[in-house]
Structure 1
Amino acid sequence: MCGILLTVGDAFPADFDAALATLRSRGPDAREVLVHGDALLGHARLAVIDLTGGRQPMSAANGRLAMVYNGEIYNFAALRRELEAVGHAFSTRSDSEVLLTGYLHWGEAVVQRLDGMFAFAIHDAQDGSVFLARDRLGIKPLFWGVHAGGLVAASTLAPFFALGAFPRKLDAEGLRDYLAFQTPLAPRTLVRDIHALPPGACLKWRVGAGVAARQWWTIPDATERAPDHETLVAETDSLLAQAVKDQLVADVPLGAFLSGGIDSSLVVHYMALAQASPLKTFSVRFAEAGFDESPAARAVAEQYGTEHHVLDAPQLTAETLAAALADLDQPLADPAYIPTWALSHLTRQHVTVALSGDGGDELFGGYSRFLDTADRHPDTLGKRALRGLLRHGLAPASLTRRALAGPELLLYQRVELGDYPGSRKDLRRYLAPELAAGCRPQATLELWRELASRHGGYDRGALLRADLWTYLSENCLAKTDRASMAHGLEVRVPLLANELQDRMLRLPASVHFDAGGGKALLRALARRHLPQAVWNREKHGFSVPLRANFAGSWRDWCDAQIASAPLIAPWLATGPLAALWQEARQGKGNVRLMYTFAVLLAWLETHALEA
């Protein structure tokens, strides 16, 4: 796992070293730079496979191609054998060389052959082109921007801020999606000229020819009938065991995040099955019973005899909060980022790689919201009449929710703010008028809506798929990537292995639901393999008690954030924001929205943007 940076053009060389240095936590083992034609390629390395031979930037034998790459290709040994069979020779044991040689042999089609998590940039010195690609579900991040006739591509936004020539203007639509959904959605960021390469996408750029982007992978619809339940459970058992085994390849110590939930506990089971040794596990213990899963995690650790390490959440003070937020390259307002960041710090003291259960809820139907489909909220004459009254200002905006039906009600429930004039969820309420006009509130969560419509119209399968390129990729996976890489820790997600994706997404969503709710396949495996303490209890989210923290240990810190708002974010409406905070500091009101603004303001303190 690494940090990568590529620039082409005369505007960036003077600041290149400073820009690469912003990635040092992602690659604490080495930082190297390659001049390749008119391009500069920089790599901050976290050495995991072939510790001595896998150095980057890496050049092809003919000198034409050079690459910087972040990720792990789990099927690289098989690809290497295939390339050797047609005459290619290798000088390292690294997956990096297999990827570069694969591009030399197969061209852009190499991405179709990769099973893993990756983001990479390849420069062609002969024609001056750059090829960028990101894995199917966006496990690894990649950002790019064009300025002054040149190109910049990097693992995070941080290098762009170190390049003095690069513009720093607020993207109003990126801000809209952040305030609505706690994270900007690719391809947008909070900076107008910096774009996130979407999951499953690639692009080609060349001086004078511009950018040609495309999806190299798209989320499939269900095309197969489901086998009987027991057969499918056995098949899933086998696929999970193989996925975890494949992802244990490393030349450094490995461990696992163990929350005590079904997903991470199953990962530990399969690690033990693959005889991972020593098996080290790491979890967070919360003082509040509604947040604490540590007893279940302890039961799993004891069953498999792991070397178990526990972090006490009371250590998550305002100082910890500020330090964690300082490591974000752009705002991410999922409160679970904070304990994940702290857990990553603990884990990195013992191992270099950790496996996690990320993706289980999204791929296997684990959220209760997947049960709340559009057909459960039919439109009625009364709702249509109420919408008419709202449009003409003849009914109070507080009745907005009662007027919505079908997809529009699902959207309302998904966002904190949006296009709901006068209501408590009115985005315009918190923005200066000129910015509110430019952020297009009517397009809030447009990607989620488009995906849900494309994949069946807001039924369970459509809602599951809509989350893959929104909530999973840009929230959950971004959270884990930023929190872990802040400490030079690589985190792998075996529940999102290609074969599991391919199998689960070809099946109807009904296989994941039974009388007990969602995630039927994983629950069946949990009952088969895990202690009762894991599966015979209410589902817990991995988060922090915001109400208690705002009224307690985070109160002074947040007071300071709100006080700074008029100076660092004059395009916010400070009156409604101050009112929101007055409620939150008493442990009342919409504390999730308050946290969203607090994270934004903390980020803007060190990342000034022009409106």
Structure 2
Amino acid sequence: MCGITGWVSFETDLTQRREVLDAMTETMACRGPDDSGTWLAPHAALGHRRLAIIDLPGGRQPMSVATPAGEVAMVYSGEAYNFAELRRELESKGHTFRTDSDTEVVLHGYLEWGEPVAEHLNGMYAFAIWDARDDELVMIRDRMGIKPFYYYPTRDGVLFGSEPKAILANPVAKRIVDADGLRELFSFTKQPGWSLWHGMSEVEPGTIVRVGRDGLRTRTYWKLEAREHTDDRDTTVARVRELMTDIVHRQLVADVPRCVLLSGGLDSSAITGLAAARLREEGEQLRTFSVDFVGQEENFKPDEMRDTPDAPFIRDVAKLVGSAHQDVVLDPAALTDPAVRRAVLAARDIPVGLGDMDTSLYLLFKAIRAESTVALSGESADEVFGGYRWFHDGTARTADTFPWLAFRTGAHDRGGLLPRDVQSRLDLEGYIADQYRTALAQVEHLDGASALERRMREVCHLHLTRMVRALLDRKDRASMAVGLEVRVPFCDHRLVEYVYNTPWSLKTFDGREKSLLRHATRHVLPQSVVDRVKSPYPSTQDPGYAAALQQQAKEVLASPDDPVFALVDRAWVTGAVGQDPATMPSRTRHGLDRLLDLHHWLDLRRPELRI
């Protein structure tokens, strides 16, 4: 796992601009604390920061191969879990290798197959190849968008990087945020290709972008397709079990310490059980980690999203599988520390406003990094198997909008704290409606499907092409900010394709959410987890958290010229800081978190706002 960046300019001698490339590369030191490298040619410059996971001494980058027609150089981030099989195949075709790294396998795969190398890979990856044979840059991103990848077209080429901060370190890139960027920031529709920064885009998942002297071209090499599912229930459950077992085994491969993120829910517990069984076969004990809050279990109160605290279920799983478990317990002071908030914002590049769910994730990963370098996560199971509560809420799933926006959690303020004139200019409801229509138009249907099956295919497609990408980005940024590689087994494209095409009636055959996953993995789960109702990532219920937010918001209010009030209504903040923190609605707490995120982000990134 690493950070990549680069610059292609067909009118500049980039061998004379090393200092700029070094500055771009250095922005991602946290993503790659183990090594740094650069490669320069007259019209292409590549930078790399390395987190060593496989072949610790041999996987240095940028990596290049000299061919009779010109050099081919690559910077690569991620893991190809099938690299051993691909290496054997390439060796049979005459390729020779100098290292044991998966990076070299991907590079030789490109030499053998060209850009279709992406279709041979199983894993998470974002990589860029400068092919001097054609004077072209080739950028390729994994199918689900697990690894981030951004680019910024210029007058005579392109800038790219794992994160926007790498691109913004180049003086060619302008730090402009316009109305289009803000609309998505406050809407949470996850528009494909969106970047907050004007002129910058994501390389979309499952996409190849080529940049040459004649401009930029894109090609989609993978997308969700509707296919007939012919397996019966038992066969389907068995196939999910087979896939899950193979995926977890593949993703445990590493030359560094590994662990699993355990929340006590079905998703993480299934990964934990399968991983523990595998490591026992190898004579190794699994390490597990979880996050909790001071007094959460003792004082827990059920709410609209969470019926039970995590801790009892975590203990049941750890006892059953015999893992070496560690709880990372946080208090309001740690969760509201402005330095931690700024570290999260520096990592994420955008002021999302998720508050303690962001800071706790960052602090959890920071604690894990002291013990392990690779962690497996249950992220994305809800999108794949249909686990969120709004999948099963009739009003939300039939609403004429994104189901997660229709479900009344109070977490989405739809820009309610924006000044009225800004709300009017952004027209968030109109933007959301446009995005929703655009998203539905991408869904393929099978002939003869019932109205319910058609709608649930749409709902699943929305989650797998929209929501999941936002959550994957969140997890990548928080983990890589501390040099931790988090792997997401539920995003293996084989599993995604198979489960996506199972009928909704099969996904819910036992009258519960995630029926297929529950039955496929119940052999490694305690009964308490098998019976547990879906509970999302934890959030503190301590009123001390809201009180600390109010105090920090008062300090912002005390500065009459704070630039945040271009985006936040001062009267709204004044009202929020006067509420009783013990009875504060979640919508208000969310708004205060967003205020503070915007306040610190504006100071960190200094954007030019064009609303």
Q: Classify the TM-score, shorter chain.
A: 0.7 to 0.9
Q: Does residue 516 in structure 1 map to residue 521 in structure 2?
A: no
Q: Does residue 362 in structure 1 map to residue 356 in structure 2?
A: no
In the aligned structure 2, how far is the partner of 1:414 from the partner of 1:132?
A: 37
CA 1:19–1:524 in structure 2 vs 1: closer, same or farther (change >3 Å)? same
How far off is 1:473 after superposition?
0.9
CA offsets per residue over residues 425-457 of structure 1, 9 Å max, x none? 665872563784366751226445433354358
Indicate the larger mover: 585-594 or 525-534: 585-594
Q: Summarize the alignment of residues 77-116 of structure 1 with structure 2, pairs less than 5 Å apart.
A: 77-116=84-123
Amino acid at match of 2:6: L
The alignment partner of 2:97 has SS state of coil
Q: Does residue 437 in structure 1 map to residue 425 in structure 2?
A: yes
Which runs of 5 or more structure 1 residues have no equivalent in the other structure?
A: 378-405, 418-423
Q: Does residue 300 in structure 1 map to residue 295 in structure 2?
A: no
- The number of residues matched between the two structures is 574
Contact kept, 8 Å, 1:138 with 1:200, in 2: the verdict is yes
In the aligned structure 2, how far is the partner of 1:334 from the partner of 1:74?
A: 32
In the aligned structure 1, how far is the partner of 2:397 from the partner of 2:173?
A: 48
Amino acid at match of 2:50: R
Residue 275 of structure 1 is aligned with which of 266, 276, 279?
279
CA offsets per residue over residues 67-110 of structure 1, 9 Å max, x none? 10100001111111221112111111111111111111111111
In the aligned structure 1, how far is the partner of 2:53 from the partner of 2:227?
A: 36
CA offsets per residue over residues 541-596 of structure 1, 9 Å max, x none? 11323783553233323334455685324542524542563466745342334433
In the aligned structure 2, how far is the partner of 1:317 from the partner of 1:581?
A: 19
Amino acid at match of 1:352: T
2:150 is matched with: 143
In the aligned structure 2, how far is the partner of 1:597 from the partner of 1:273?
A: 45
1:554 is matched with: 549
2:239 is matched with: 235
Q: Does residue 212 in structure 1 map to residue 217 in structure 2?
A: yes
Q: Does residue 309 in structure 1 map to residue 326 in structure 2?
A: yes
The alignment partner of 1:606 has SS state of helix
In the aligned structure 2, how far is the partner of 1:552 from the partner of 1:77?
A: 53
CA offsets per residue over residues 117-153 of structure 1, 9 Å max, x none? 0001111223321111111111000000023423111
In the aligned structure 2, how far is the partner of 1:452 from the partner of 1:68?
A: 35
In the aligned structure 1, how far is the partner of 2:437 from the partner of 2:560?
A: 32
1:29 is matched with: 34
In the aligned structure 1, how far is the partner of 2:460 from the partner of 2:542?
A: 29
In the aligned structure 2, how far is the partner of 1:258 from the partner of 1:232?
A: 26
How far off is 1:204 after superposition?
0.7
1:390 is matched with: none
2:248 is matched with: 244
Amino acid at match of 1:4: I
Residue 537 of structure 2 is aligned with which of 534, 542, 557?
542
Which runs of 5 or more structure 2 residues have no equivalent in the other structure?
A: 446-450
The alignment partner of 2:241 has SS state of helix
The alignment partner of 1:90 has SS state of coil
Contact kept, 8 Å, 1:201 with 1:213, in 2: the verdict is yes
How far off is 1:19 after superposition?
1.9
Contact kept, 8 Å, 1:48 with 1:251, in 2: the verdict is yes
CA 1:26–1:429 in structure 2 vs 1: closer, same or farther (change >3 Å)? closer
Residue 606 of structure 1 is aligned with which of 583, 604, 607?
604
How far off is 1:308 after superposition?
0.9
Q: Does residue 485 in structure 1 map to residue 480 in structure 2?
A: yes
1:56 is matched with: 61
CA 1:325–1:584 in structure 2 vs 1: closer, same or farther (change >3 Å)? farther
2:362 is matched with: 341
In the aligned structure 1, how far is the partner of 2:390 from the partner of 2:60?
A: 45
Residue 129 of structure 2 is aligned with which of 113, 116, 122?
122
Residue 351 of structure 1 is aligned with which of 359, 372, 381?
372
CA 1:162–1:34 in structure 2 vs 1: closer, same or farther (change >3 Å)? same
Q: Does residue 466 in structure 1 map to residue 462 in structure 2?
A: yes
Q: Does residue 329 in structure 1 map to residue 349 in structure 2?
A: yes
Indicate the larger mover: 318-327 or 601-610: 318-327
1:391 is matched with: none
In the aligned structure 2, how far is the partner of 1:362 from the partner of 1:564?
A: 42
CA 1:513–1:565 in structure 2 vs 1: closer, same or farther (change >3 Å)? farther
In the aligned structure 2, how far is the partner of 1:131 from the partner of 1:58?
A: 15
How far off is 1:410 after superposition?
4.6
In the aligned structure 1, how far is the partner of 2:391 from the partner of 2:397?
A: 12
How far off is 1:332 after superposition?
3.1
Q: Summarize the alignment of residues 11-26 of structure 1 with structure 2, pairs less than 5 Å apart.
A: 13-26=18-31
CA 1:576–1:201 in structure 2 vs 1: closer, same or farther (change >3 Å)? farther
The alignment partner of 1:507 has SS state of coil
Contact kept, 8 Å, 2:38 with 2:47, in 1: the verdict is yes
Q: Does residue 167 in structure 1 map to residue 174 in structure 2?
A: yes
Contact kept, 8 Å, 2:396 with 2:407, in 1: the verdict is no
Q: TM-score, with normalisation over the residues of structure 1?
A: 0.87
1:396 is matched with: none
Contact kept, 8 Å, 2:5 with 2:167, in 1: the verdict is no
In the aligned structure 2, how far is the partner of 1:322 from the partner of 1:608?
A: 14
CA 1:271–1:32 in structure 2 vs 1: closer, same or farther (change >3 Å)? same
Contact kept, 8 Å, 1:460 with 1:509, in 2: the verdict is yes
1:192 is matched with: 198
2:438 is matched with: 450
CA offsets per residue over residues 507-563 of structure 1, 9 Å max, x none? 223221135331001222454321123232332211323783553233323334455
Amino acid at match of 1:480: K
The alignment partner of 2:458 has SS state of helix
Amino acid at match of 2:258: L
Contact kept, 8 Å, 1:317 with 1:554, in 2: the verdict is no
Q: TM-score, with normalisation over the residues of structure 2?
A: 0.87
Contact kept, 8 Å, 2:403 with 2:459, in 1: the verdict is no
In the aligned structure 2, how far is the partner of 1:416 from the partner of 1:161?
A: 35
CA 1:434–1:588 in structure 2 vs 1: closer, same or farther (change >3 Å)? closer
In the aligned structure 2, how far is the partner of 1:139 from the partner of 1:539?
A: 23
Q: Does residue 407 in structure 1 map to residue 408 in structure 2?
A: no
In the aligned structure 2, how far is the partner of 1:413 from the partner of 1:20?
A: 41
In the aligned structure 2, how far is the partner of 1:508 from the partner of 1:30?
A: 47
Indicate the larger mover: 172-181 or 291-300: 291-300
CA offsets per residue over residues 26-53 of structure 1, 9 Å max, x none? 0000011111331111110000011111
CA offsets per residue over residues 241-273 of structure 1, 9 Å max, x none? 111001111111111111111111111111122
CA 1:8–1:296 in structure 2 vs 1: closer, same or farther (change >3 Å)? same
The alignment partner of 2:114 has SS state of helix
In the aligned structure 1, how far is the partner of 2:380 from the partner of 2:230?
A: 23
In the aligned structure 2, how far is the partner of 1:426 from the partner of 1:303?
A: 43
1:261 is matched with: 265
1:403 is matched with: none
Contact kept, 8 Å, 1:73 with 1:115, in 2: the verdict is yes
CA RMSD, 1 decimal: 2.8
Indicate the larger mover: 559-568 or 266-275: 559-568
CA offsets per residue over residues 46-71 of structure 1, 9 Å max, x none? 00011111111010232521110100
The alignment partner of 2:497 has SS state of helix
